[in-house]
Amino acid sequence: MKVYISATLRNYFGKNHVIETAEDNIRSVLKFLTDEYPDAKQILFDENEKIRSFIRIYVGSDDHTASDMWYKKLAEEDEILILPAIAGGAPSDSIINDKRMKAQTLDDNDIKRFEKHLLLKEISVKGQKRIKAARVVVCGAGSLGSSVIQYLAAAGVGTIKVVDDKDVALADVSSQVLHSSRDVNRPKVASAKDKVRNINKNIEFEAESVKLDSENIEEIFDGYDLVIDCTDNYKARYLINDACALLDIPLVFASIYQYEGRVGIFNHNGGPCLRCVYPEPPVPGLVPTCAEGGTISPLAGIVGSIQANEALKLIIGIGDHLDGKLLTVDSLYLNSRILNVKKNSKCPLCGLSKTIVSVEDFDYEEFCGLKESDNEVPVEGITPEELTRRMDNNDPMTIIDVREPHERAIMRFPNAIIIPIGQLARRMKELNPEVDTIFICKSGKRSILAINTLREAGYEGPMYNLKGGIDAMKDIVFSHEGAWL
């Protein structure tokens, strides 16, 4: 039997993307995996030995995450997929009603521009009018948004609102094909507006250079037919999902990481929402984000194009779509699969007994258990300036680097000991409790998790988190120490 490991988890499984086992049920497969790869236990199970809420286990296309499915005997040819959070159906009616469709007209230029659409019997004139009548919100004008925005504009979507509060950075240009070098330091929504105008000046483009929060999200989404999530962080994904569910707006979701992408449709026709699949996001540090792990440039184009395609099918009302399903694409090993997603009757947002009745801003660190409570010993931090001074003075200390190998390849840290978070508890004897231990990561989040992990394991030596991580340190140290790079 083959067990496929999602890209976001492979560091816990010896970097393997597929593992073969002779076991014949989920329970024994999980035991085999955690015996063979001890570091995987912490990512799969919580402290109570229960499967973590952001992990899904599929056999074929069916969800077998519930523990009562784990003892069912499986066939040798069955394939298991372990899938963490990173957030179909028969043909259905269009989300654009006939009244709005009939109110649209196509002039001579439209006929010429959309000739290839009009030749398709599933689209034709009626379908193109529905596209013109559609009002769509795209959240994020980055990697995924680049493809989505341009294809929606090229297809003739009548109103496109783009929400993004960031400016274009030089590092964005390699994968965010909506922007060019000339757009660096400009707001992303301004760059997006220019590109859309160049494609079709008749499209009504609305630029929202704001950060989504509980105070503005409902007003921003209200009156729109469809929301497309092209964001890159868990807080935004859950905020968008909740707003769409409460406003009864379909959501086209996608996420990417390294070489792997996912696409699904939530909150449509009574189907599941994101919380049905993943009730909670993973603890920061356990599963890296695309900002920490990177992505191959074309992946965003592949996945974003699928998002745009799903959006257009919903608008027109044609074909099979991903309502109640999740498409996974692995561009490195050239495989894809469609997984069934069931509505969770216990979902706090869309289940039978709803406990979420309004959009609420939440503190992601508190949501994931990283925020210090009044009863917890606070995690002490050290500033980049102080660490630099102590390094210059050769003060006795131990520096532990918990970053991923590809992160260290880009920028190494001098004299640091490399210990992944999953190995800290069993390797704590390598630390000297008589001297300070400084933990470093990219942005200062995973190092907090590392310190808390060692505390739980009983380590009592002094520990400090580098505030802001390497990102905050590089301008102080790396800019004049070329040998460190």
Query: What is the C-alpha to C-alpha distance for residues 289 and 277, in angstroms, rounded to an integer?
Result: 18
Q: Token pair for residue 310?
A: 């799903």
In the chain, what's the furthest Cα-to-Cα distance?
A: 80
d(CA 412, CA 406): 10
Distance CA 183, CA 27 (A): 52
In the structure encoding, which two tokens stand for residue 309, read together?
């395609």
Helix 297-316 × helix 143-155 angle, to 10°: 40
User: Do 110 and 128 touch, CB atoms closer than 8 A?
Assistant: yes
- Residues 440, 444, 448: CA angle, nearest 5 degrees: 85
The confidence score (pLDDT) of residue 12 equals: 82
Tokens 């495989």 belong to residue: 335
Alpha-carbon span 299 to 481, nearest angstrom: 34
| Regions of the chain short of the pLDDT cut 70 | 85-92, 281-293, 361-377, 406, 474-485
| Architecture of the structural domain at 2-84 | Roll (3.10)
Residue pair 460/433 in contact (Cβ under 8 Å)? The answer is yes
Look at domain 381-484 and name its CATH class: alpha beta
Please provide residue 239's backbone torsions phi and psi, each rounded to the nearest 5 degrees. -60, -45
The pLDDT value given to residue 448: 87
Residue 146 CB: number of other CB atoms within 10 A? 25
CA distances from 339 to 12, 30, 185 (A): 23, 20, 40
pLDDT computed for residue 484 by the predictor = 38
Q: How far is CA 293 from CA 11, 256, 385, in A?
A: 11, 10, 27
Residues in contact with 416: Cβ distance below 8 Å, sequence separation at least 6, in sequence order: 399, 400, 401, 440
- Count of other CB atoms within 10 angstroms of residue 352: 8
- CATH code 3.40.50.1000 for 134-367: no
> What pLDDT, on the 0 to 100 scale, is given for residue 464?
94
Tens-digit pLDDT profile for residues 337-375: 999 888 888 898 888 888 888 887 665 455 544 444 444
- Cα of 328 vs its chain's centroid, Å: 13
How buried is residue 45: exposed, middle or buried, by Cβ count under 10 Å (0-12/13-18/19+)? middle
Closest CA to 8 of 400, 275, 330, 279: 330
Q: What's the order of all strands across the beta sheet hosting 226-229?
A: 204-208, 159-163, 135-139, 226-229, 251-257, 260-266, 325-330, 335-340
Q: Give the active site residues.
A: 290, 441
The domain limits of the chain are: 2-84, 134-367, 381-484
Token pair 């790396």: residue: 478
pLDDT digits (tens, 9 = 90+) for 108-127: 999 999 999 999 989 999 99
